[in-house]
């Protein structure tokens, strides 16, 4: 199964294709990972032209970016906060065939890529005040006054962990046993000794007390939920 969006006209087309066998909410490409096996996004970028055009080599950029906006009120004043952070980034320089310097030959150029995710990279998130998305951007550089040919894969990648089986265990317990230490401190002296001449005698004795047996019902634990939601609207990110 593959997922693609085209950016083309009658003479040329540029596309990024993400190859995956899984689908998430909204029919998004889903990449399943485990702590032992990092997720990998596989796909290819393809440029086609029916004639020679002005241009340089292709650039492919991948990045994971989180962004958040929120407000805080201080008395009669309101302060707006805007946070951005790039969690992961990777770039590829893709050579294309040139008939002469600065001119891209007609035909098809295809480049296969693999983007390996960091172990702690979270799923795509789209909320009212925060979002996290994955973006692939392919660009064919062209000199002024011609515009670059750019394709941005704005669809969001869902990174998910396969649901784990229910975890259960049986605990075998023993009666609770506590040990108390009784201490006896005495002063020993003869009839002719003063209090300052008395000797101190300490006696310690351990006493064990057995309490009731703790409950032995089987413990049932649920694994933490993993979820990601994407509603199909613009993610608010216009940068690369």
From the number of C-beta atoms within 10 Å of its C-beta (0-12, 13-18, 19+), residue 71 rates as exposed
Look at 203 and 40; give whichever has higher pLDDT: 40
Nearest to 235, CA basis, from 11, 75, 97, 28: 28
pLDDT tens readout for residues 37-90: 777 888 888 888 888 888 888 889 998 888 888 888 888 888 888 888 888 899
Other residues' Cβ atoms within 10 Å of the Cβ of residue 54? 11
Q: Which CATH class is domain 2-163?
A: mainly beta
Quickly state the pLDDT bin for 163 (edges 50, 70, 90): very low
User: What is the three-class DSSP state of 27?
Assistant: helix
Predicted confidence (pLDDT) at residue 151 exceeds the cutoff of 50:
yes
- Taking the domains of the chain in order of start, what are their residue ranges? 2-163, 168-220
Least confident among 24-28, 138-142, 170-174, 228-232 = 228-232
The CA distance from 37 to 164, in Å, is 15
The CA distance from 120 to 34, in Å, is 10
Predicted confidence (pLDDT) at residue 185 exceeds the cutoff of 60:
yes
Nearest to 202, CA basis, from 187, 222, 224, 218: 187
What's the token pair of residue 213?
């047996």
pLDDT tens readout for residues 4-41: 434 445 577 888 888 877 776 666 667 777 667 777 88
Mean pLDDT of the chain: 70
Least confident among 35-44, 102-111, 192-201 = 192-201
Q: What share of the chain is helix, strand, coil (3-state, %, to 5)?
A: 0, 55, 45
- Give the pLDDT confidence score for residue 112 in this predicted structure: 92
Other residues' Cβ atoms within 10 Å of the Cβ of residue 100? 8
Residues β-bridged to residue 13: 8, 48
- Give the start-end residues of each E strand in 9-123: 12-19, 30-32, 40-49, 53-54, 58-74, 77-94, 98-100, 103-104, 107-116
Residues β-bridged to residue 143: none
Quickly state the pLDDT bin for 168 (edges 50, 70, 90): very low
Answer yes or no: pTM beyond 0.85. Answer: no
CB-based contact 67:26 (threshold 8 Å)? no
- Give the pLDDT confidence score for residue 117 in this predicted structure: 83
């Amino acid at each position: 199964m593959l997922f693609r969006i085209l950016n083309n006209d009658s003479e040329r087309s540029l596309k990024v294709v993400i190859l995956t066998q899984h689908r998430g909410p909204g029919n998004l490409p889903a990449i399943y990972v485990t702590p032992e096996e990092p997720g990998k996004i596989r796909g290819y970028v393809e440029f086609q032209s029916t004639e020679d055009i002005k241009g340089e080599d292709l650039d492919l950029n991948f990045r994971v970016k989180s962004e958040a906006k929120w407000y805080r009120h201080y008395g009669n004043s309101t302060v707006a906060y805007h946070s951005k952070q790039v969690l992961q980034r990777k770039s590829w320089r893709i050579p294309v065939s040139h008939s002469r310097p600065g001119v891209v030959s007609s035909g098809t150029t295809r480049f296969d890529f693999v983007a390996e995710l960091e172990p702690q990279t979270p799923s795509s998130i789209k909320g009212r005040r925060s979002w996290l998305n994955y973006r692939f951007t392919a660009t064919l550089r062209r000199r002024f006054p011609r515009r670059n040919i750019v394709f941005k894969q704005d669809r969001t990648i869902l990174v998910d962990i396969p649901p784990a089986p229910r975890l259960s265990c049986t605990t075998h317990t023993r009666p609770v046993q506590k040990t108390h230490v009784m201490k006896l401190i005495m002063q020993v002296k003869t009839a002719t000794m003063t209090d300052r001449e008395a000797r101190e005698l300490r006696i310690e004795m351990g006493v064990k007390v057995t309490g009731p047996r703790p409950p032995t019902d089987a413990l049932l634990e649920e694994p933490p939920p993993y979820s990601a939601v994407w509603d199909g609207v613009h993610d608010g990110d216009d940068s690369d």
